[in-house]
Amino acid sequence: MIVAGEASGDAHAAKLVRALREFAPEKDFGFFGATSHKLREAGVEEIVNADDFSVVGLPEIAKALPMFWKDFKKLKQTAKERKPDVVILVDFPDFNLKLAKSLKKQGLKIIYYISPQLWAWRKYRIKTIKKYVDLVLAILPFEKDWYARQGISHVEYVGNPTVREIHSNLTKEQFCVKHNLNSSKPIISLLAGSRHKEIVRILPELLETAALMEEQNADLQFVVALAATRRLEEIEEAKAKAKKMPKIFTVVKGETHEALNASDAAAVTSGTATLETAIIGTPLAIVYKTSPLNYKLLRPLISVEHFGLINLIAEERLAKELIQDDFTPETLARELFRLLEPAENQKMRERLKAATDKLGHGGASKRAAEFILNLLK
């Protein structure tokens, strides 16, 4: 049984399913669980459709509770009927930690792939990991040692599953020709996040930043990189909220890695995109803004020193973090101008490479599959 929630978890889970089949072709695997399109493409039987699981913000989660409760009961009942050899829970901790507790009480083996970020917030959930999870497969280099300090030894670091796939399919010159950009002039990518609420709250500030920078340097070129899962109409919604707009900017959809590879600097919404930007090697500033209510409720629960994943991996404030009230067009413009300075730009590229080298160079899904098969033996 395999249960994934958001799009990134669905993608990692699908790669794990394929790795298990490749690692042990003699075995007749059967997979079922909570799926989105990548897992369904990998041949996993859908018990629960996870396409609507991607919800952010406490009020939004509260509205979705009836859906989550219905799906939780369905997965619990299916596990009871089918008695899988192992349950693989992928990320999505608010749902999956509760499921781990329930399914472990049925006597099932529980593996957690992509450790919940307990080191960042809600550390009390470690009790659930300790009591109800048989094996944690971590994808960040510092997590195994962190768990060991908490007295938990059933943790293995498998490497990061995104490393090998984070690359551009186009050179900078090809990208510029495709989108009518001048490769000899500075390019700045603006990444507003993969969720609708992030786009409508963060993109207006990014566009205002572009307008402010454009006033000081008319040669600057701005690229809004929209996730493949988002709609172009959301850009229009954000534009309507922006107080000031740049004269010209380019919108690309599903070409985030290509845009970053072509860029001299980037403003990136906190999340996995900060890690992807660092792997590509583009100097970045990390931004985030949520509703005042969400921030007031969630900020006291966050215990980690850095918000940005790349800063956590580097174990230092490598990329500047502009969070909530610190995130304004003025503060972001200052930081991006600093990153465009040749000496500063080259220095950050070198430091990003040193930090991302800690993630290994691929094979995470295969190593995860090996640990899972060893546990089954």
pLDDT for position 63 = 64
Task: Assess whether the region 2-161+362-376 and the region 172-359 belong to the same CATH fold.
Answer: yes
Residue by residue, pLDDT tens for the chain (377 residues) are 999 987 778 989 999 999 999 999 999 999 999 998 999 999 999 999 887 665 455 555 556 567 778 999 999 999 999 999 999 999 989 899 999 999 999 999 999 999 888 887 778 889 999 999 999 999 998 899 989 999 999 999 999 888 888 899 999 999 999 999 999 999 999 999 888 889 999 999 999 999 999 999 999 999 999 988 788 999 999 999 999 999 999 999 999 999 999 999 999 999 889 999 999 999 999 999 987 777 777 766 666 677 788 998 888 999 999 999 999 999 999 999 999 999 999 999 999 999 998 887 778 999 999 999 999 88
pLDDT for position 196 = 86
pLDDT for position 122 = 76
Which pTM was predicted? 0.76
Q: Residue ranges per domain, the chain?
A: 2-161+362-376, 172-359
Q: Which of 148, 104, 90 is nearest to 372 (CA)?
A: 90
Determine the topology of domain 172-359 in CATH.
Rossmann fold (3.40.50)
Please, what is the end-to-end C-alpha distance for the chain in angstroms? 17
CB 352 within 8 A of CB 318: yes
pLDDT for position 343 = 98
- Name the CATH code of domain 2-161+362-376 (choices 3.40.50.2000, 3.40.605.10, 2.10.50.10, 1.10.10.10): 3.40.50.2000
